[in-house]
Structure 1
Amino acid sequence: MQFDVVVLTDNELLQHNENDWYSRQVHQEDGLVVTALSRLGLKVGRKDWAETGYDWTQCRSAVFRSTWDYFHRFAEFAPWLEQVGRNTRLFNEAGLIHWNIDKHYLGILAEKDINIVPTIFVERGDARSLAHVVAETGWEDLILKPTISGAARHTYRFHALDSERHECTFGELVEQEAMMLQPFQHNILEEGELSLMVIDGQYTHAIRKTAKAGDFRVQDDHGGSVHRYDASADEILFAEAAVAAVPFDVLYARVDLIRDNDGQLAIMELEMIEPELFFRFCPEAADTLAAGIARRLAV
């Protein structure tokens, strides 16, 4: 067996480019995980998940960290996940990854009394117009996005009266994939979005993401910024309860939440596939992650 744990990345992030801030940041984060695992006496490697010809049976386990091209290559990723998962233990596990890829999971959380941002799902092939669906919601300021997406792919904010401007885009998208509508959450403009890291069932640290002026997207891909944040007791309890409601063993999760338009804590997303966990703000959380992996491998 070559490795006890492989830290998974994608090809573009495999090599360290000291001249690129993004590459430095990724390698700092992944490096904290590699170091924490190595300190526990585990044999650790770091690989592109899509490396051609690699024999994944040579790894006891693999942990998803910066595989941020998977949603652009899902036709390759899905069979890879099935094949590798037969012989290599995955963290998080393949069943959870499939569950978390599709944001229909938000409806399942709502059924378990976890407050989510109100969401309407429009299934693939739905023949209704966008204007028709929007009229049924009664919402005036809306967000439209696919149920399977990442990095704000095909995410649109619009007013109900402007639905017709997005009809062609909506029609083309819904022919290919399920979509979702949500009322725009106005607190995100002033307060941003909170991300609480829950590792091995326990809160470790948090950050606050804010959008650049004139935008609503908090991702750094779109000019958003990240700040250290000290979560309150009620935010911590809410995040841990949301993760506990997931019907799988969750090694790590990033709980993205806001105060909704009614002032209540609400889940935007639970990120449990390859979320950035912002270890640079709390390096000891990497040790918590490593300990959780080591304990699971010992069973």
Structure 2
Amino acid sequence: MKTYDIIILTDKRYLEDSQTNTYKHNVFYEDYLVQQALQNENLTVARLAWDDPDFNWSDTKAILFRTTWDYFDRFPEFSKWLAMVSTKTKLLNSEKLIRWNIDKHYLLDLKSTGIPVAESYFIEAGTQITLAELHQQLQWNETVLKPCVSGAGRHTYKLSPENRADYESIFSELIQNESMMLQPFQHNIVNQGELSLIIFNGMYSHAVLKQAKAGDFRVQDDFGGSVTTYNPSETEITFAVNATKACPELPIYARVDIFTDNANQLAVSELELIEPELWFRNNHKAAGILAKQIALRLK
């Protein structure tokens, strides 16, 4: 049986390249860049779906979470698999970091260490409350509602006094089974965009600026947002690096999403440690930097 130094993890939708779907091609191409960089470090590498039924996870020294972008839709299955695989091989990032980062309650932990984060109010699963009651209690006008375990904009809604009642039924259904969070709508994200700074083992690599398309508030390119290369200030770099240092342990890779909040202060919107898009296609050298850090971890 062949053994590997590292397996790059994806989900089965992205195992093959696509010449007609730009999104799928970008996923495949970025994973390819990482695979080539790891091989340049004399590591044996393969790329598999995380739920591959035939692979023995003991046959690799480590696994690298890259594009497992169905985990939040299959979370109970993924969580069970994660517990199993953590006993078989080394996880990058670790199971401890992944489980901490999966649930956006981690924002409270960052805040407790002094890292400014997006203002957030958490509603625990099973809470009997309506959106109207929440907004009256918090005295918030425009808001964004989202699950605490989510990704790719799943069940993320912009609420206002005009449309809030339209979402009462879906909120009532969701809150019975999962915790949700409510945040004041951040106008500067729409006006200025959101920055994503890529940090490898506590060191800044590169950054992009994400901006929503006209008429939308979501900056993900899934929803038509744009992504451009960005040169951050030293203040922005230090802010992002400090956010990674506030994690339970230093992640080998992190994407720190930051923005200027409604009070015109830098804040973390999200800290992505599980399977973040890292825009290697914008900076090919970054794949080599990550590969070198991984090679050092495997020595």
What is the CA-CA distance between 1:160 and the residue it aligns to? 4.1
What is the CA-CA distance between 1:166 and the residue it aligns to? 2.0
Moved over 3 A (4+): 160-163
Task: Report if aligned partners of 1:256, 1:270 keep a CA contact under 8 Å in 2.
Answer: yes
Look up the match of 1:91. Answer: 92
Unmatched tracts of structure 1, length 5 or more: none
Look up the match of 2:189. Answer: 188
Residue type of the alignment partner of 2:273? M
Q: Does 1:256 align with 2:257?
A: yes
Identical-residue share of aligned pairs (%): 47
Distance between the aligned counterparts of 1:217 and 1:290, measured in 2?
A: 31
Task: Give the total of aligned pairs.
Answer: 298
Q: Does 1:57 align with 2:58?
A: yes
SS of residue matched to 1:70: coil
SS of residue matched to 2:247: coil
Q: Alpha carbons of 1:21 and 1:162: their partners in 2 closer, same or farther (altered >3 Å)? A: closer
Distance between the aligned counterparts of 1:108 and 1:57, measured in 2?
A: 33
What is the CA-CA distance between 1:23 and the residue it aligns to? 2.5
Distance between the aligned counterparts of 1:59 and 1:79, measured in 2?
A: 19
Look up the match of 1:35. Answer: 36
1:222-261 equivalence runs, <5 A: 222-261=223-262
Residue type of the alignment partner of 2:160? H
Residue type of the alignment partner of 2:65? F
What is the CA-CA distance between 1:162 and the residue it aligns to? 4.4
SS of residue matched to 1:208: strand
Look up the match of 1:143. Answer: 144
What is the CA-CA distance between 1:163 and the residue it aligns to? 3.2
Q: Per-residue displacement from partner, 1:152-194 (whole Å, max 9, x unpaired)?
A: 1111111246433322111111111101010000011121111
Residue type of the alignment partner of 1:54? F
Q: Does 1:7 align with 2:3?
A: no
Distance between the aligned counterparts of 1:171 and 1:8, measured in 2?
A: 35
Look up the match of 1:76. Answer: 77
Residue type of the alignment partner of 1:166? Y
Distance between the aligned counterparts of 1:171 and 1:17, measured in 2?
A: 39
Task: Report if aligned partners of 1:195, 1:256 keep a CA contact under 8 Å in 2.
Answer: yes
Distance between the aligned counterparts of 1:278 and 1:50, measured in 2?
A: 24
TM-score normalised to the size of structure 2? 0.97
Task: Report if aligned partners of 2:244, 2:250 keep a CA contact under 8 Å in 1.
Answer: no
Look up the match of 1:22. Answer: 23
Residue type of the alignment partner of 1:218? V
What is the CA-CA distance between 1:57 and the residue it aligns to? 0.6
Residue type of the alignment partner of 1:48? A
Residue type of the alignment partner of 2:291? A
Distance between the aligned counterparts of 1:19 and 1:127, measured in 2?
A: 46
Q: Does 1:176 align with 2:156?
A: no
Q: Does 1:292 align with 2:299?
A: no
Distance between the aligned counterparts of 1:13 and 1:134, measured in 2?
A: 40
Distance between the aligned counterparts of 1:198 and 1:88, measured in 2?
A: 24
Residue type of the alignment partner of 1:8? L
SS of residue matched to 2:28: helix
Residue type of the alignment partner of 1:143? V
Q: Per-residue displacement from partner, 1:93-120 (whole Å, max 9, x unpaired)?
A: 1111111000000011111110011100
Residue type of the alignment partner of 1:58? D
1:96-135 equivalence runs, <5 A: 96-135=97-136
Distance between the aligned counterparts of 2:159 and 2:63, measured in 1?
A: 40
Task: Report if aligned partners of 2:202, 2:250 keep a CA contact under 8 Å in 1.
Answer: no
